[in-house]
Amino acid sequence: MAFATKLFRIAISNHYYKSNNVRNDFDIEPTRSTASWMAERRVRILRHSDGIALIWLSQDYDHPLELFKKKTDGITLSFVMTLKNSQALNLLELEAGHSTGQVYYLYNGHTHNHNWLHSKPFMGSADLVKIQEVAHYPTQPGWNVFAMIDIDLTHWSHTVSKQKDSRFVEPITYSIKIQNRSTFWRYHLVDTQKRLNGPLSILSKGDTDYFSQVKASTELPHTYCAESTMPIELCDQYDRSFSLCKLGGAKGETILLEKLPYPTYDSLKKDKDDKKKLYSDIVVYV
């Protein structure tokens, strides 16, 4: 009779998803050599909504982890992280156009935090390395590699050994945290019925700090534009809304259009002069 012993998890935390409808835009698969090593030693993968878990089908129910540690000296398990959603790079603060010949490299050897697989609080450009520097990068055809993950089982064993109660060892969860992208939002308000006149502003609960003054476009007829004063996070559910208001009058402001639409994931544009500055354009017909 086999006993399932949990070894570790790799969990992806995607900060774009704020609602309960959490998705994972990535797949994690073992390289062929790692898959072969796992099969020989009865190590299996369990799929989770946010990543994977590895379990060992052991024959020893007294001290299975201690037994497994004896098999881990000098062993590194390698996994390929692939992109499932082609639009994810618009949503996430990852390098969509990094130099050819580079790959994200994630591993469990960071001394600042044993549970992070990246070098900073979020996966990002600091984790890009040249492909030839990754010893376990798969060279066989058929791989669409977005990131490489190396789990050094010697590091894993040391971390497990630090747990105080050896009778109730908690499996390690290795985290991959991905920051959602922030962009400058630009509203393009098309005046279809000549309603837009006088001083206009885009407000959030009366707050004028989010957007610059609404001005007539110099390029498009009957169109007014406003740009956010700061980058705003993109996410699947927002905790505030914006309204187009006419300023002045007895009440101080009159709402012309409540709850303006949010940007879509495919509206990313680069600034003509500053390529690192990204815009999300939203066209609204008033």
Would you state the pLDDT for residue 253? Answer: 79
Into how many domains does the chain fold? 2
- Dihedral sign from CA coordinates of 271, 14, 178, 56: negative
Question: Are residues 29 and 42 located together in one domain of the fold?
Answer: yes
Q: How far is CA 218 from the centre of its chain?
A: 37
Question: Are residues 159 and 204 located together in one domain of the fold?
Answer: no
Tens-of-pLDDT digits for all 286 residues of the chain?
A: 467 788 899 999 999 998 877 778 899 999 999 999 999 989 999 999 899 999 988 776 667 777 777 778 889 999 999 988 878 888 898 875 556 789 999 999 887 777 899 999 999 999 999 999 999 998 888 888 999 999 999 988 888 877 665 556 678 999 999 999 999 999 999 988 888 888 889 999 878 889 999 999 888 889 999 999 999 999 999 999 999 988 876 667 788 899 999 998 777 888 877 777 899 999 999 8
Look at residues 161, 178, 195 and tell me which one is the last residue of a structural domain: 178
Query: Rounded to whole angstroms, how far apart are CA atoms 202 and 211?
Result: 6
Helices and strands, number each (H, E), in the chain: 4, 18
Beta bridge partners of 116: 175
Question: Are residues 19 and 141 located together in one domain of the fold?
Answer: yes
Q: Residue 117 has which token pair?
A: 């697989």
Query: Rounded to whole angstroms, how far apart are CA atoms 47 and 10?
Result: 10
Q: What is the pTM for the complete model shown?
A: 0.86
Whether the CB-CB separation of 147 and 98 falls below 8 Å is answered with: no
Shortest CA distance to 280 belongs to which of 237, 243, 214, 235? 235
Residue with tokens 């062993």: 75
Q: How far is CA 173 from the centre of its chain?
A: 17
Q: Residue 89 has which token pair?
A: 């790079």
Q: What is the residue range of 205's domain?
A: 182-285
Look at residues 159, 178, 197 and tell me which one is the last residue of a structural domain: 178
Question: Are residues 116 and 55 located together in one domain of the fold?
Answer: yes
Would you state the pLDDT for residue 107? Answer: 95
Question: Are residues 126 and 194 located together in one domain of the fold?
Answer: no
Question: Are residues 214 and 168 located together in one domain of the fold?
Answer: no
Question: Are residues 98 and 235 located together in one domain of the fold?
Answer: no
Q: Residue 105 has which token pair?
A: 């490299």
Question: Are residues 265 and 191 located together in one domain of the fold?
Answer: yes
